[in-house]
Amino acid sequence: MKKIFVLSFISVGYFLNAQSLSNSPYATYGIGDVKYDNTIETSSMGGISTAFISDFSSNFNFGNPANNSNFELTSIKLEATNENNYFKTDYNNTKSTKHSTYLSNISIAFPISSKIKMGFLYQPYSSKSYEVVHDETIDGTINRNIFKGSGTLNTAQLALSYKINSQFAIGARANYYFGNLYDLNEFSNSNAELINGYETKNSIKNFNFTLGTSYQSIDTRNDHKLTIGATATFGNTSNMTTNYINSTYYYSDVDTKAGETIIDSKNKSSNNLLPLQASVGVGYGSENHWFLSGQIDYKKGESISYFGNTFDYKDSYRISAGGWYLPNYNNFRSYFSRIVYRYGAFYEKGNLEIAGSNINKFGISGGVMLPFKTSSITRMSGLEIGVELGKRGTLKNNLINQNFVNLKVGFNFADRWFRKQLYN
């Protein structure tokens, strides 16, 4: 049987069974639809975190664990994301819409001492959830290709921050990735009793770590500050185990295979699933009033097994700019003056190259931190809301243009919990 494996074909076939796919069609490749950073604070500011040290004592920075010099409270965050994707292709001028909602971030952080801070975080890292059906009739014979994918890759993180002095700090973050990703391509013919299936199962248990450093100088004459930060992620241990099976079979019922004959079977282990990543950033602002930062992120390309073939990711980079603005927190007559307003933008040269076209991404973002009634400038708890609008992909070569609107909502509960009071 002839296997149809044309990259642009998947993009066209995606629309033929659009109701079955719940995230980007580009999730069919590799480890799925990778989330850059799911925290509301970071995404609302275009993705900046490397040179961002919060002025407030209630926000822990996991992006660069060195940037937690001002963190003094115990913080618990719960956040959810609603993704809305709008797809279009020149193939028959087809359009489609997809929506999904998921828990995007759970974290707890607390100070161990005035110099050492610690945080724990859970996030989905990437996901697959698609089903593409393509039928083609040739001389009265119906050829059908079905592409299916499922699974989630999660990450759990432990971060530590150490303040060396009033200007310098260092940090480290241990990252554990775990989950299973599944891809299946089935080819059938109306004149044949058997189905030819190409199945790929990736079992992932991977560990690496991130090192970060930061420098901040504050001019006491006007409370202006300059911040510089850098991070590097490396040191993959463990691996990804890939099991590939090419077989023929039929279904005795909806999900049960019968009469299976193995044509080819391969097992492969690799440790380059999450390659070297690095980031540098610089920021400038006014204490408790405003902040603006720029950042460049780099990710080295890698290779991954996909339907028995090696699929190569390219080197990629991301340019982000953003910040926040607080009008006047001491103005208790105006609640809007005590809201933290966030803004940002980004451009990402993607690591996917399909049919000679780079799958790039860009967008703008914004958000607010709505403080609770009992919040103060030193104890900033509240409702977090963020929105991200952007575009990914292209209409060239029958590929897909993806417009998206992502809404994020969460709570940051910060207080001096779990800390013994010295005085009543």
- For the segment 366-415, what is each residue's pLDDT rounded down to a tens digit? 999 999 877 777 677 899 999 999 999 888 887 889 999 999 999 998 88
Mean pLDDT over all residues of the chain?
A: 85
> Is 90 exceeded by the pLDDT of residue 192?
no
Report, as an integer, the average pLDDT of 338-361.
90
Q: Among the residues of 2-105, which ranges form H helices?
A: 7-14, 40-44
Record the pTM: 0.86
> Is 50 exceeded by the pLDDT of residue 6?
no
**Phi/psi at 32 (5° precision):** 100, -160
CB contact at 8 A, 73 and 415: yes
pLDDT at 381: 86
Of the candidates 115, 117, 127, the one whose C-alpha atom is nearest the C-alpha of residue 152 is: 127
Report, as an integer, the average pLDDT of 133-142.
84
> Is 80 exceeded by the pLDDT of residue 280?
yes
Of the candidates 161, 296, 167, 280, the one whose C-alpha atom is nearest the C-alpha of residue 229 is: 280
**Percentage above 70 pLDDT, the chain:** 88
The Cα–Cα gap between 402 and 21 comes to 13
pLDDT at 396: 85
Residue type, 241: T
> Is 50 exceeded by the pLDDT of residue 21?
no
Residue that has been written with the tokens 């609770």 in this structure: 372
Residue 145, token pair as written in the block:
């290709």
Task: Calculate ∠ Cα 399-46-234, nearest 5°.
Answer: 85
Dihedral, CA atoms, 44, 45, 47, 52, nearest 10 degrees?
-130
pLDDT at 12: 41
Specify the higher pLDDT residue, 358 or 278: 278
Report, as an integer, the average pLDDT of 206-215.
94
Report, as an integer, the average pLDDT of 46-57.
94
Dihedral, CA atoms, 121, 293, 172, 63, nearest 10 degrees?
20
Q: Among the residues of 182-278, which ranges form H helices?
A: none
pLDDT at 418: 55
Residue type, 155: T
pLDDT at 271: 65
> Is 70 exceeded by the pLDDT of residue 193?
yes
Residue 424, token pair as written in the block:
């009543």
**Percentage above 90 pLDDT, the chain:** 48
CB within 8 Å of 256: residues ≥ 6 apart: none
CB contact at 8 A, 304 and 274: no
> Is 70 exceeded by the pLDDT of residue 273?
no
Residue 186, token pair as written in the block:
């089935």
pLDDT at 304: 66
Residue 278 banded pLDDT, cuts 50, 70, 90: very high
The Cα–Cα gap between 344 and 41 comes to 11
Euclidean distance between the first and the last CA atom of the chain, given in angstroms as a whole number: 80
Residue that has been written with the tokens 């099976």 in this structure: 245
Report, as an integer, the average pLDDT of 69-76.
93
The tens digit of pLDDT for each residue in 95-134 reads 888 888 888 999 999 999 999 999 999 999 888 887 778 7
